[in-house]
Amino acid sequence: MRIFPLLLGVLLAAGSFAQQRPAQDRPNVIIILTDDQGYKDVGFNGSTDIPTPGIDRIADSGVVFTSGYVSYAVCGPSRAGLLTGRYQDRFGFSKNPLFAPNDPQMGLPLSEETMADLLKKAGYATAAFGKWHMGAHPDLYPNKRGFDEFYGFLSGGHNYFPEDYTVADITQAKSQMDGYRTRLLRNTERVDETEYLTDALSREAVDFVERHHEEPFFIYLAYNAPHTPLQATEKYLSRFAHIEDPKRRTYAAMVSAVDDGVDALLDKLDELGITDNTLVFFLSDNGGPSPHNASDNSPLRGFKGDFFEGGIRVPFAVQWKGVIPAGIRYDAPVISLDIFATAAATSQASPKNELDGVNLVPYLTGENQGLPHEQLFWRNYQAGKFAVRTPESKQITTAKETLLFDIQNDISESRNLAADEAKRAAQLSQRVEEWKKTLMDPIFMGLSEDKKYSELHPDRFGK
């Protein structure tokens, strides 16, 4: 197996660095998650038309995962995997959940321990800001899933301008899209927001740090930007007059608003003197849906929803100053599931369920010179599609075709090797077959079944 010789040399040097300063005790944990952001749409992955100096601070102070993946190509299942550290198909979260406030089964099952559950048990103050999408029934609210504080919305998307929040409460909702127009929640109470949504979420995160910096804390800052609808204030639009495409200009403005928020959050950590004791992750929940929001996944093939790289390989970086070395680009495959395992290890907490991720810190410091994963997997239940990634290979299979790529040398997945390398294809298919035995069927209907679900559940909004 290839061990990435250049990377190994860097990690050996990193190991010496790490030995000079022992790992901090129980660091704070911050996850900054964007929605539908393109792989290239950060400075650390080569963006030239959208500067992201705030986000790039994380990359400059830590590690960029050049082969960083999420566990699904759309937001709901991807976020379920992130929050539990487990392949979401193990517990039936295989589809994008519908907005169904009267259905306690429509969301993250109660059998699953969230990262907030774990860290709260370990004595952390916990907060979620932004998009939830793990269920709109009261039993599934963030405050019931380990979060001390929540500020945001329950649905899979939301409008950005407060004047559009015309649904006073979810009991007044009449359709799936009404979730985009609900007033925001502070914990379980509806509130009247006055700021642009991205700015409001950043404000709340900074305020939480100010109030809880003297104790260990966990923040899940789940922006919905730059997910549609494409909406931005003039403050951010004015920065991108040079972009002629109006859709790309608004998208860039939305990313820039996130970047300002990340910058403010990192500034607050510096101001309070806790940067060195805070583990900060940044990633997108899936690849960019370029036709819809003008995102840029290059040089990757495909988009959100695909198992091509453009759907599942995302901008992904982490910093832990003084522990993880700075300015490293790490090429071995990692996945969003690893964040839970890393948080568990660094907080010295014991998860309830078996995890599919690994603690990344020893790999980044050079203490462990192996590979975090021998293989990573994906399943699209409705499409009957599977994918597997090893350090050298990537394979996508359906009932009709097999696509095999030399992913290390063909990042754009331009040449299908399945016919030429039948033995390798068969071996990868066997790995998938073994993994499939650990999965279960979906436990709820998904977004594409909205009409049918409403017919079967006329009381879905609690009326």
Say whether pLDDT at 5 is over 90: no
Residue 297 clears pLDDT 50, i.e. is over it: yes
Mean pLDDT over 236-262 rounds to 98
Measured between alpha carbons, how far is 139 from 447 in angstroms, rounded to an integer?
A: 21
Q: What is the pLDDT of residue 12?
A: 39
CA distance 412 to 419: 19
Q: Is the peptide bond preceding residue 299 cis, with omega within 30 degrees of 0? A: yes
Banded pLDDT at 25 (limits 50, 70, 90): confident
Structure confidence at residue 18 (pLDDT): 35
Check residue 170 and give its pLDDT.
Answer: 85
Residue-level pLDDT at 463 = 55
pLDDT at 257 over 80: yes
Task: Please tell me the least confidently modeled range out of 3-7, 348-352, 401-405.
Answer: 3-7
Q: What is the pTM of this model?
A: 0.94
pLDDT band, residue 171 (cuts 50/70/90): confident
Alpha-carbon span 3 to 9, nearest angstrom: 10
Residue 60 has pLDDT above 90, yes or no: yes
Mean pLDDT of the 232-253 span: 98
Q: Is 133 one of the annotated active-site residues of the chain?
A: yes
Q: Has 292 been annotated as catalytic?
A: no
In whole angstroms, what is the distance from residue 124 CA to residue 277 CA?
Answer: 13
Residue 146: CB atoms within 10 Å: 21
Mean pLDDT, rounded, of the chain: 94
- Sheet containing strand 184-186, strands side by side: 189-191, 184-186, 149-153, 125-131, 217-222, 28-34, 278-284, 316-319, 63-65, 328-330
Q: Is 447 exposed, middle or buried (0-12, 13-18, 19+ CB in 10 A)?
A: middle
SS3 (DSSP) at 144 = helix
Q: Is the pLDDT of residue 19 over 50?
A: no
Spell out the domains of the chain, with CATH numbers in brackets.
5-20+27-365 (3.40.720.10), 376-447 (3.30.1120.10)
Residue 234 makes CB contacts below 8 A (sequence gap 6+) with: none
